[in-house]
Structure 1
Amino acid sequence: MKKKLPFIAVVFPLVCMLALFLCMPVIGMVLSSFQTDTNGAWTLSNYHEIFTNSFFYQAFYNSALIGLFSSVLGLILAIVLCNCLLKLSEKWQEKITVVTNLVANFAGVPLAFAFIILLGNSGILKLAFPHLMTFNLYSWRGLVLTYLYFQIPLGVIFIYPAMRKMKKEWIEVSDLFGASRSFYWRKVGIPLLMPTLGSTFIILFANGLGTYETAYALVGSNINLLTTRISALIAGDVYARPNVGSALAVVFFGMMVLAMILSQLLVRRVRRTSL
């Protein structure tokens, strides 16, 4: 027991912090979702309103759509970027991966402000290239473009180590036996990378689905997204409904957990079929 005391002394504060900053807010959110906004009585009306109101349906649809588009495009471009990165020298690969880690963490309001300076109504690039005047940053296309800025580096962080483990000799052997590159990627490369690609896609999808600051700074409430709708319900200045917002956040949390479980099941199934 004396040998375990230093370990307990270190772990106990971490467990307390986890309970205070993660577990207790989740428990409070779940309990609040079953209460009314007026007198705090227990009810299921919050969930009934979420699943019957078309406005909330639109928020779910828009968030899923922006998350799907940004994750698919980000995954494809990350694969292309990793393939190009592996053709460089070790020195340049290390430098670019360091920059990639920095770019992946550059999001939120600073990222939206940077895009406004570049591609806003009076942005630098629009003034320099007049044909870009037709591009509207404060729209779906602008939102997807902004999301890609941090989705692609995040995808590279997860895919690059897996692609680096793939040996060049495998491609040389397939060329020696007369197999095409498409055959190699279809039969060898993609099956080996499929677990990593599946988990990376889920991470990118969850990241795009849960982004709040960038979307709010760019489009505000012009595009009905799930994160901005939860914020408006909980911290709205005019018409705040925190209990309905808590119910919406619980449903959102359930969607994220379900997506993670499905991704793990998919990865395990792919690994079994590839062995």
Structure 2
Amino acid sequence: MTSRIESSGEIAATRPAVTPQPRAAFHRRSRWLAALCLLPFALFFIAFQVAPLVWVAVHSLSVGDGWGLDHFEKIFASRFYLQAIKHSLQIAFWSSLIGIAIAILGSYSLRQVDSRLRDFVIAFSNMTSNFAGVPLAFAFIILLGFNGALTILLKQIGVIEDFNLYSKTGLIVLYSYFQIPLGVLLLYPAFDALREDWRESAALLGAGTWAYWRHIGLPVLTPALLGTFVILLANALGAYATVYYLTTGNFNVLPIRIAGLVSGDISLNPDLASALAMVLVGLMAVITLAHQLLLKRSYHVAR
């Protein structure tokens, strides 16, 4: 027995010692592997996001053989282009506000219903959020046009006297249609952060429904609400196909003006179109900055 132990000890002693791989080298290799996996995404992002934005920014400053701010001066001195900016902001704001208000109620209600109905509504929202362009414009013309089926019915029962789908109000209704399902898809997961025991604890401490939502529910949901509102604004500001096919390009909003200058419907001026696009980018940058400031403030209040 003693000889066996001694022989096994000699064999173990003759084996080379296995040194563990340094942790720093392992982490370095992991970072390089992660960077390599992100390389296709980085190339895609540069090719289809950064490069077009740089091209538009450069051409917005191109004036003849030189550089300057002439295109921006023309935009802000023109009542026509200022009206396009105003209409775009108004339609985007009101459709986003209507969309997020209904989406809040819908997302909260989905938490209280049966799972089958919930799955059906989520699937339907996913489908309708992508229902835009020519089919959506055609559907609204049939329903809410001057001789639309729903317009005639509402007039007969006295709900409305007149409704113009091709006006600013009509476009707000149209935009709200695809804003609502998108808002539901974005806000529905946010309600997972609200735990039922918080409501029960608040009720045991004497807090009513309004106090619960004011001090617990809304502060928890504020980041998701602000983020969803910004996404809805961006979605409405950049919408083009639906409003173009509904009004045949006759309603004055920024995407229509940009497309008209690029395609040459009235006059071909891609540099001025680039300046209008940069104005649109600037509006979104301001909205995003305001979102970040409000987000920081909400975190500060929650603490």
User: When the two structures are superposed, what TM-score results if normalisation uses the length of structure 1?
Assistant: 0.89
Select the structure with the greater relative contact order (CA < 8 A; seq sep ≥ 6): 1
Q: Is the 8 A contact 1:143 1:218 kept in 2?
A: no
Unaligned runs of 5+ in 2: 1-27
Residue type of the alignment partner of 2:48: F
2:164 maps to 1:139: no
2:145 maps to 1:117: no
Offset of residue 73 of structure 1: 1.0
Unaligned runs of 5+ in 1: none
2:118 maps to 1:93: yes
Tell me the distance in 1 between the aligned counterparts of 2:35 and 2:198: 48
Tell me the distance in 2 between the aligned counterparts of 1:171 and 1:260: 32
Q: Which residue of 1 aligns with 2:189?
A: 161
2:62 maps to 1:35: yes
Q: Which residue of 2 aligns with 1:68?
A: 93
Offset of residue 206 of structure 1: 1.5
- 1:153-195 CA-to-partner distances (Å, cap 9, x unmatched) read 1111121111133122322333333322112111111111111
Tell me the distance in 2 between the aligned counterparts of 1:77 and 1:134: 25
Task: Tell me: CA distance 1:128–1:73, structure 2 relative to 1, closer, same or farther (3 Å).
Answer: closer
Tell me the distance in 1 between the aligned counterparts of 2:50 and 2:121: 37
Tell me the distance in 2 between the aligned counterparts of 1:137 and 1:262: 32
Alignment size in residue pairs: 273
Q: Which residue of 1 aligns with 2:198?
A: 170
Tell me the distance in 2 between the aligned counterparts of 1:44 and 1:208: 27
Tell me the distance in 1 between the aligned counterparts of 2:231 and 2:65: 36
Q: Is the 8 A contact 2:226 2:291 kept in 1?
A: yes
Q: Which residue of 1 aligns with 2:255?
A: 227
Offset of residue 236 of structure 1: 2.3
Tell me the distance in 2 between the aligned counterparts of 1:3 and 1:65: 48
Offset of residue 128 of structure 1: 5.0
4+ residue runs over 6 A deviation: 1-9
Q: Is the 8 A contact 2:193 2:220 kept in 1?
A: no
The structure 2 residue matched to 1:245, chosen from 256, 268, 273, is 273
Offset of residue 8 of structure 1: 6.7
Task: Tell me: CA distance 1:187–1:222, structure 2 relative to 1, closer, same or farther (3 Å).
Answer: same
Tell me the distance in 2 between the aligned counterparts of 1:261 and 1:23: 19
User: When the two structures are superposed, what TM-score results if normalisation uses the length of structure 2?
Assistant: 0.81
Tell me the distance in 2 between the aligned counterparts of 1:186 and 1:246: 44
Task: Tell me: CA distance 1:12–1:177, structure 2 relative to 1, closer, same or farther (3 Å).
Answer: closer
Q: Is the 8 A contact 1:195 1:267 kept in 2?
A: yes
Q: What's the C-alpha RMSD, in Å, of the aligned pairs?
A: 2.4
Tell me the distance in 1 between the aligned counterparts of 2:190 and 2:34: 34
Residue type of the alignment partner of 1:66: I
Residue identity over aligned pairs, in percent, reads 37
Q: Which residue of 2 aligns with 1:196?
A: 224
Task: Tell me: CA distance 1:54–1:77, structure 2 relative to 1, closer, same or farther (3 Å).
Answer: same
Residue type of the alignment partner of 2:278: V
Residue type of the alignment partner of 1:29: V
